[in-house]
Amino acid sequence: MKKVKTKQMRRSLLFGSFIAFLIAISPYLFYLYENFPESKTWETSLFTLEVTNYPDVYSAAWYFVSKFIPLYLLLLWFFTCRHWWYHIILIPIAMYAFQLFHVINDDVEYIDETEIYYLIPIMFVIIPIVYIIRVKLFDKLVHGIDMKKLDQELEELDMEEEHFSK
């Protein structure tokens, strides 16, 4: 029994250390844009990158990492968060995902202007779900109301009502 617990603790420590490492390297990942050239074209032995919507490759890389790193950190937070409200993190994740898509997409003229309109339907779904979770937790913890028992009682009342109506 003790050996299993130590094995779980070791896994938890390794996983936590890996997550801490991913968070710790985020500033270094952000500043990778400084290695890109300040020209419209970047040629390497593997590929050639030419930017059209940005002044130079350096600026395009800066826009990319300024959207990617917050998305990266929010995803880490979402997948490691143990709080009941963690679904609400999906809203800023969606915002940065839309912004990153617009940075990568060459057809978009403006960046960071229309993403809020794409978020509205996502917010209409996520916010009520989080609120329902909050209400259920609040009722159970504060008022001691068990929603399963309440649902069973309502079903019994419905069955009795059906029986009397026949």
Quickly tell me which residue has 């026949």 as its tokens: 166
Q: Rounded to an integer, what is the distance from CA 74 to the centroid of its chain? A: 5
Q: pLDDT tens digits, residue range 70-95? A: 999 999 999 999 888 888 999 999 99
Query: Any idea how long the chain is?
Result: 166
Q: pLDDT tens digits, residue range 30-61? A: 999 999 999 888 888 888 888 888 889 999 99
What pLDDT score was predicted for residue 135? Answer: 80
**pTM across the whole model:** 0.74
165, pLDDT greater than 70? no
What pLDDT score was predicted for residue 42? Answer: 87
Q: If DSSP codes are grouped into helix, strand and coil, which group holds residue 50? A: strand
**How far apart (Å, rounded) are the C-alpha atoms in residues 15 and 12?**
5
What pLDDT score was predicted for residue 76? Answer: 96
Which of 107 and 38 is assigned the larger pLDDT?
38
Question: Could you tell me the two tokens for 141?
Answer: 């913890």
Question: Could you tell me the two tokens for 130?
Answer: 């989080």
Q: pLDDT tens digits, residue range 109-155? A: 666 677 788 888 889 989 998 888 888 777 766 666 666 666 676 67
Q: pLDDT tens digits, residue range 18-28? A: 999 999 999 99
Q: Does residue 105 contact residue 111 with C-beta atoms inside 8 Å?
A: no
8, pLDDT greater than 80? yes
Region 154-164 average pLDDT: 67
What pLDDT score was predicted for residue 161? Answer: 63
